[in-house]
Amino acid sequence: MTEVLTQVPARDELFDRGRAGLDRATAHLLGLQDAAGWWKGELETNVTMEAEDLLLRRFLGISDEQLTAQTARWIRSRQLDDGAWATFHGGPGDLSTTIEAYAALRLAGDAPDAPHMTTAAAFVRANGGVERSRVFTRIWLALFGEWPWHQVPAIPPELVLLPAWVPFNVYDFACWARQTIVPLSIVRATRPVRPLGFSLPELRTGLRPPPPPPLSRRAGWLHRLDLAVRGYERVAARSLRRHALRRAAEWIVARQEADGSWGGIQPPWVYSLIGLHLLGYPLTHPVMRAGLEGLERFTVREQTPEGTVRRLEACQSPVWDTALAVTALADAGLPHDDPALARAGNWLVGEEITARGDWAVRRAHVPPSGWAFEFDNDGYPDTDDTAEVILALRRTPLRDHAVLDRATRWLVGMQSRDGGWGAFDADNDRALVADLPFCDFGEVIDPPSADVTAHIVEALCAQGLTNSAVTRGGVRWLLRAQESDGSWFGRWGANHVYGVGCVVPALVAAGIQPQHPAIRRAVDWLLHHQNGDGGWGEDLRSYDDVAVRGRGASTASQTAWALLALHATGQHRAPAARRALAWLLDTQRPDGTWDEPHYTGTGFPGDFYINYHLYRLVFPISALGRVLRGTAQEDR
């Protein structure tokens, strides 16, 4: 491809192809818009969503034979050749995911001596058995008597009584963690056991618990604290425990969303239903009924040669998807008054959140505004969505700019002390809580991250605040956060390619010149990690293995992120950019989309990953649109 580009007027042929490819992609994206103005791609995760749904229904006594069969069909379809289930496409088998999938298939009637079940059980035993599974998995097993409750770390409901200034209060945890921990504290305190209908001895190894961390480490002291709290639970005053449980239930009920969910995400949703049910809420109670009925809205059914499969989204992303789609279409050249952009803008304006949420615990003086990720999540607007919505609304025929002023004011107020931004809370960085024994389920705090901070810096610059103290503070944070190799860590996207793709355009927008050492190091990192086929990709194992940073099969979304960074630095005509453009065009489907089975989104680094089905379309459109516009402007 390089030789062809040097022998032929590459720009004429390649960029003509690019315009045709951009037109096809744009037409496809426009065809996906809902009549109300929004876009929403499927949010694909792993089979723990479906497995835990079946376990939830068994625990509540509402199992349905047809639903179970459809769900089990999906779980079977995701099994790997070695019998395990992974947490992302192409990833290795995961012990806890495999245990939960196996238990769900047993619920569906799969015999333990069936070939696919024996290979799954063998994988579990080879990797330590249930004795080495994560705390969440052992809690699910304890609900059915397959793990002793006294061997589950303490999660005392009295945490909800602690004021916000006391260590280990619920607001020390990230919003997704606190919403999960509060209902789990009810479950742990009540220690229920319901019949599963079978036992799981084939998943045990008899391994003894690993030794506690040494007292020379913080985790060692917190392990001893856990033992002390378990002792307290045996002698806790009944009146205090009853009061804590009542307050925990009130805390949960107050945070249920209009669609019946909690936070619009799966973990707090299922545990809240279980916790409230254990405290006497019948399934007919409005809170319980809304919660159970709301799950259907997150359900995807698909016809396959084997029959109907049923799967669940862990979350839904219409606000995020709509903001990115608006930006992509504007980048592709749609005029700001195009009807599609007008409908999307009107819908986004209507989704602004004007009520206070948990974020106000530490920012009580900040007037409310912002946007959440989901259709219904008024308690938890996030700064990342809000920044992207600001950027999107500025490219629509917005009539009332006061909404942008309110959102900007909220973002400014949510800046953390160090100059960066977390996603949901300000100064949610007490790392102490991450070493608690029950916190082995992924990230449990929400400190500032490079990708979120970059998006906010870019939005503030678009709002005319480039030279403000708050923006300069964000820029300084980004420059400090650069890795020694020139990249940035990607908290919510995979991974360092995402970090560079977010940060470089933001720094350029803030006035940092492409010749700045930080920008040059970032571009050099990108060029060094470009694949031989012209694209970019990064395997999710890079969160655990430094050697995998920037390495992986090329994907449309990750290639687009790299192209966006190159374009921001004026290198959209450089050989690397042309090779990336050629890769995107060569791999584009006839309908204008791209295949992307790889997961390029991140929930919890190292633990939980996401395939956003719209990423494969919106980011390539933005990259193609900006590169083509840049070359066209230069040719005038």
Write out the catalytic residue numbers.
384
In sequence order, what are the residues at sequence separation of 6 or more whose Cβ sits closer than 8 angstroms to the Cβ of residue 218? 432, 435
Please name every residue paired with 446 in a beta bridge, in sequence order, or none if there are none. Answer: 428
Residue 292, C-beta contacts closer than 8 angstroms, at least 6 positions apart: 60, 62, 260, 273, 283
369: which residues sit within 8 A by CB, 6+ positions away?
352, 353, 354, 381, 386, 403, 406, 407, 409, 410
List the structure tokens of 371. 């946007």
Q: For residues 502 and 450, what is the distance between their CA atoms, to the nearest angstrom?
A: 8
Mention every residue, 6+ apart, whose C-beta is less than 8 A from residue 573.
11, 630, 631, 634
Question: How does 335-360 read in b/e, with b if 16+ C-beta sit within 10 Å?
Answer: eeebebbbbbbebbbebbbeebbbbe
Task: Calculate ∠ Cα 258-260-265, nearest 5°.
Answer: 105
- DSSP assignment of 168-209 equals T-GGGS-HHHHHHHHHHHHHHHH------SS--GGG---PPP
Report how far residue 164's alpha carbon sits from residue 152's, in angstroms, rounded to the nearest whole number. Answer: 26
Whole-angstrom distance, CA of residue 152 vs CA of residue 147: 8
Is the distance from CB of 341 to CB of 334 less than 8 angstroms? yes
DSSP symbol at 307: E
Tally the residues of the chain.
Answer: 636
Bridge partners (DSSP) of residue 609 are 602
The answer for residues whose C-beta is within 8 angstroms of residue 161's C-beta and 6 or more apart is 243, 244, 247
Q: Which of 622, 624, 617, 487 is nearest to 546 (CA)?
A: 487
Backbone angles phi, psi at 285, to 5 degrees: -65, 140
What's the half-sphere exposure (Cβ side, CA atoms, 13 Å) at 412?
A: 19
| 235: number of Cβ within 10 Å | 6
